[in-house]
Chains A and B, each alone.
Chain A
Amino acid sequence: MRRFVLIAIPYLWLLALFLVPFFIVLKISLSDAAIARPPYIPQFDWAEGIWAFVRELDFENFIFLTEDALYWKAYLSSVKIALISTALTLLVGYPIAYGMARAPEEWRPTLMMLVILPFWTSFLIRVYAWMGILSNEGYLNQFLMWTGIISEPLIILNTPAAVYIGIVYTYLPFMILPIYAALDRLDGSLIEAAEDLGCSRAQAFWLVTIPLSRPGIIAGCFLVMIPVIGEFVIPSLLGGSGTLMIGKVLWEEFFSNRDWPVASAVAVVLLLILVIPIVLFQRNQQKQAEAEQ
């Protein structure tokens, strides 16, 4: 009995506040828009029964998504930005994680703390910090003009470049930590063995270190890529009007256009896109957990 209560409380909470809302989103994505409060005509009513619902069922919101180039361009560009920025984050993050794992033992806790510290500071503030740096009269341009490298200010803010910088900056800890964890476990004698067997430094790195840190790399990439696809704050603060990302489109559809059915349809499609990487990610984590046992 007690066990039943223990299971039931968190279970019901998640059912009511996580799973049920998804079905509501799905339901509203199938209803028609209206200028009212709430701004949609429900399409599904238990009283009318399932058949009435199915008879009336149409996918006009989804058809609308395919017809308007804005949406599929936004999806495509979200995925593209997510892929590129994940690769960039990996390029920046791997050397840092590697350096941490090779640092003297007594430094490591401090380095670790330095990586985690930004993670605890407000996401919004960290994105905001770049607005002052990247703007036309920002610190970066001031610095570059002062050194004489450029004579005209570079336009970075409100371009995709700013979005990439923002993503790499804010998601860096998510990339560093799993890779560091994998590299930290790596037995140093393996590399010595590889060198003993005739590998050069670079070959040993390529043939031993990289494959053995692969689970960390995969975990890090998913941890960056999945949330970036639905990112809202970074494109809206750094990307300007030129950067299309689906999180921003959804937000605007909802708050500015007040078209809830279309916003819901956008969410449903976004979720469908994310199902694949999420499932892959779960499987990678499971495999790793099994390997550790």
Chain B
Amino acid sequence: MNRLSWFNAVSLTLGFAFLYIPMVILIIFSFNESKLVTVWAGFSTKWYGELIRNQAFLDAAWVTLRVAVFSSTLATILGTMAAYVLVRGGRFLGRTLFSGMIYAPLVMPEVITGLSLLLLFIGVGLDRGVFTVVLAHTTFSMCYVSVVVSSRLITFDRSLEEAALDLGCSPAQAFRLVTLPIIAPAVISGWLLAFTLSLDDLVIASFTTGPSATTLPIKIFSAVRLGVSPEINALSTLMIALVTVGVITASLVTKRAMVRQKQEEQAAARAA
């Protein structure tokens, strides 16, 4: 079983080629000299220069970053609370409705979420802008956070919390001193997920934003509608590079920690 059969080798190669070739092409052509994106005319980084000088993109990036930081932080707090209520809250009135509202946004088409939130904001007379986008992003990404955190809480040994209570903690102290440090990795990955979701979102942001706050995906979308452009290629390359570095670092860190823990456990077992 430990050698790949030729069939598996072929399917993996083709599959990953399919997943990665489009991105590789995008990255290569971001260094293309020519304005005509489909014709290679020599290596150049000039589109990156253009990008940095493009004030509209910089403004949009700044708006997006602000929205992502605020909404993911808020979503992490609310989502962790929601996960805790779902897993540890016991029975309360409307629990089914609550868990339904947590899971439904995960599969809800973005056009519907966006439309309904917009109509709400107009209904209550909120001026649309960064604030409304933050509210919208918080709402849908808190559900993702709560799914990530609650799957960790389910496997969490409840007697750890009871031990903390037994040793004199108030419930709030038990959460702060025991539960939170242990589920921290899940909370952090929830935050990262919320952050990228907010960074990526086009549809909900388009509905809920106003003229003052154009996010980067909205900007990219309106540029891309007109066709492929080398500047967008450069921007995409930067974003892909950022995500790749982030994901690889995160997976290396967790892998190292896991290997170390395993080694230490084995050492302890041998010593006994």
Contacts and interface: CB of A to CB of B under 8 A. Distances in A.
Contacts of B108: 230, 274
B139 A17 contact: yes
Contacts of A20: 120
B4 interface: yes
A121 B20 CA distance: 12
Contacts of B19: 114-115, 118, 169, 172
A139 interface: yes
Contact of B94 (A11, A104, A130, A169): A11
Nearest to B1: A188
Given A109-B251, A113-B251, A124 B220 contact: yes
A241 interface: no
Contacts of A41: none
Contacts of A260: 119
B16 to A, nearest CB: 6
Contacts, number: 236
Interface residue tally on B, bucketed by range? 35 or more
A270 B94 CA distance: 26
Given A20-B120, A126-B22, A247 B103 contact: no
Interface stretch (A47-55, A64-72, A206-214, A231-239): A231-239
Interface string B1-31: 1111101110110011011101101100100
A6 B175 CA distance: 12
Given A117-B243, A129-B25, A233-B203, A6 B38 contact: no
A185 interface: no
Contact of B224 (A17, A128, A226, A281): A128
B54 to A, nearest CB: 17
A126 B244 CA distance: 14
A210 B207 CA distance: 42
A120 B82 CA distance: 24
Interface residues of A, number: 87
A226 B104 CA distance: 11
B263 interface: no
A162 interface: no
Interface string B99-112: 00111110111111
Residue in B11, B16, B97, B139 with the greatest tally of chain A CB atoms within 10 Å: B11
Interface string A94-105: 011011101111
27 contacts: A11-B98, A14-B82, A18-B101, A18-B139, A20-B120, A21-B119, A24-B120, A93-B15, A96-B16, A98-B11, A99-B4, A102-B1, A104-B3, A114-B20, A124-B221, A128-B228, A129-B25, A131-B227, A133-B22, A169-B19, A169-B22, A172-B18, A223-B107, A230-B110, A250-B112, A267-B111, A267-B116
Interface of A: 2-3, 6-7, 9-11, 13-22, 24-25, 28, 38, 92-93, 95-96, 98-100, 102-105, 109, 111, 113-118, 120-126, 128-133, 135, 137-139, 142, 169, 172, 188, 222-223, 226-227, 229-233, 236-237, 247, 250-251, 254-255, 260, 263-264, 267, 270-271, 274, 278, 281-282
Given A7-B92, A21-B117, A21-B120, 6 more contacts: A18-B139, A109-B255, A120-B196, A135-B38, A233-B221, A250-B112
